[in-house]
Amino acid sequence: NFRGLGWSPGAAYLLPALLLPMGCMGLVYGVAWLGNWGSFDPEGATYLYPKWWYIIGLTTFYAFGEEIGWRGLLVPQLARRMSASKAAMWSGVLWAVWHYPVFFKYDLGGPPLAYGMTMFTIMVVGSAFFLAWMRLRSDSVWPAVVFHSAHNLAITWFDSSIIPDALTPYLVSETGIGL
């Protein structure tokens, strides 16, 4: 049923959905910069500015497509059959596995594959709990779309804004222990 995908605005959850990924990444990358585990790259930070509208549109489009499936359809269906916690966990596991082909197709330039996939899985499953909670609580898919898009935008900017050293890939980005 297309109507049951959660089209209501979920307005009370939109601001936390926008700020949480940016705040978490700001903290992790800030610690990396202050700890000298990579340095701030002002050129990289400004490189994306002329392309922001394109990047915002693209990340929102992809986030919308994924979230219609994961939080719009899957989470409510799972929550009817199991507890909300189990629904969140299973949606997170499936969401992580969905992304695994990217690790095998592309050299992401990060830590060793097993470490990166493990950290990515922990991050995605952890995020799935917050996203499932927002979806079920707000009866809206939009907070999940905003969170996912804000995460993708923030990771794009922060990854462009750091000059890594040998330890940086183990700490930051989607394959580091920080997120």
**Per-residue pLDDT tens digits for 23-44:** 999 999 999 999 999 999 999 9
Of 60, 71, 63, residue with least CA distance to 128: 71
Could you identify the residue written with the tokens 């997170």?
92
Q: Which residue has the higher pLDDT, 107 or 20?
A: 20
Decide if pLDDT at 5 tops 80.
no
Decide if pLDDT at 4 tops 80.
no
What pLDDT sits at residue 107?
A: 76
Per DSSP, the chain holds a count of helices (H) and strands (E) of: 8, 2
Of 160, 176, 37, residue with least CA distance to 116: 176
Decide if pLDDT at 16 tops 90.
yes
pLDDT-derived band at 50, boundaries 50, 70, 90: confident
What pLDDT sits at residue 1?
A: 61
What pLDDT sits at residue 97?
A: 97
What pLDDT sits at residue 9?
A: 85
pTM of the model: 0.93
